[in-house]
Structure 1
Amino acid sequence: MRLTIHLDTFDRLNPMAFVILWLDKEMRQWSREGHHGLDLPRWGALRVDCGNTLMCGPHDSTPFCVLEGLDLNATGGPFEGETGRAQWCANEGRTLMSGHWHVQCVETGCVTPENGIFAGDEMR
């Protein structure tokens, strides 16, 4: 299952900040598909802890962002339209900033992406 997630409302960082992500539930990886005002690498690893999804870097287990309530281990979910709070912790000093996550799309079938990490492109 692949999810398209939209992160936004990080107004203290940038009033127009957003990120569009693809989350691969089985591979436990994420890929940045679009962004403005939030600095993250092109891809990284996902961890689940206490019903929350932690977005980590490709070679580091420290989370950039915690998607509260997005439980990738839950049966029957996530679903399109599901929302929750996002805690951004990738800025200097690790001061948390609150925003929101929103599931825009859930793809349950086999989908072949054109490019990016899920297409097997080189991971940078």
Structure 2
Amino acid sequence: MRLTIHLDTFDRVNPMAFVILWLDEETRRWSREGHMGLELPEWGSLHVDCGNTLVCGPHDSMPCCVLEGLDLNAESGPFEGETGRAQWCSDAGKTLITGHWHVQCVDNERTQPEDGIFAADDSE
């Protein structure tokens, strides 16, 4: 399952700040599809902890953002329109900045990407 997640309302950073992420539930990777006002790497890994999804960089397990209540391990799975609170934590040493996430699209197709981040082998 692939999800398109929209993160927004991080007003303390920038009133127009947003990020659109593409999450691949199977590979536990994400890619940044669009953004403004929030800095994230182009891709990274996903981890689930206590029913929350941790959006981490490509080579570490420190979260850039925590999607509270987005449980990729839940049997019922995320659904289009589902919403929750996002905690922006990519600015090390600063307090968490609260925003929101919502699922824009759920894609249940099992297709192999031809190129890009998710086509890379696992030796990275």
Same fold, TM exceeding 0.5? Answer: yes
Per-residue deviation, 1:112: 5.0
Instruction: Check the 8 A contact 1:31/1:116 in 2, yes or no.
Output: no
Equivalences for residues 87-106 of structure 1 within 5 A? 87-106=87-106
Equivalences for residues 75-114 of structure 1 within 5 A? 75-113=75-113
Match in the other structure for 1:68:
68
Q: What's the Cα RMSD here?
A: 1.7
| 1-structure distance, mates of 2:63, 2:112 | 28
Letter in 2 for 1:35: H
Letter in 2 for 1:5: I
| 1-structure distance, mates of 2:115, 2:103 | 21
| 2-structure distance, mates of 1:110, 1:96 | 35
- Indicate the SS of the match to 2:93: helix
Q: Is there any run of 5+ residues in structure 2 with no aligned partner, and where?
A: none
| 2-structure distance, mates of 1:112, 1:12 | 39
Indicate whether 1:13 and 2:33 are aligned: no
| 1-structure distance, mates of 2:112, 2:35 | 22
Question: CA-to-partner distance for each residue in 1:21-70, whole Å, 9 max, x for gaps?
Answer: 00000100010000000000000000000000000110111000000000
- Indicate the SS of the match to 1:118: helix
What's the TM-score once normalised by structure 2's chain length? 0.91
Per-residue deviation, 1:120: 3.6
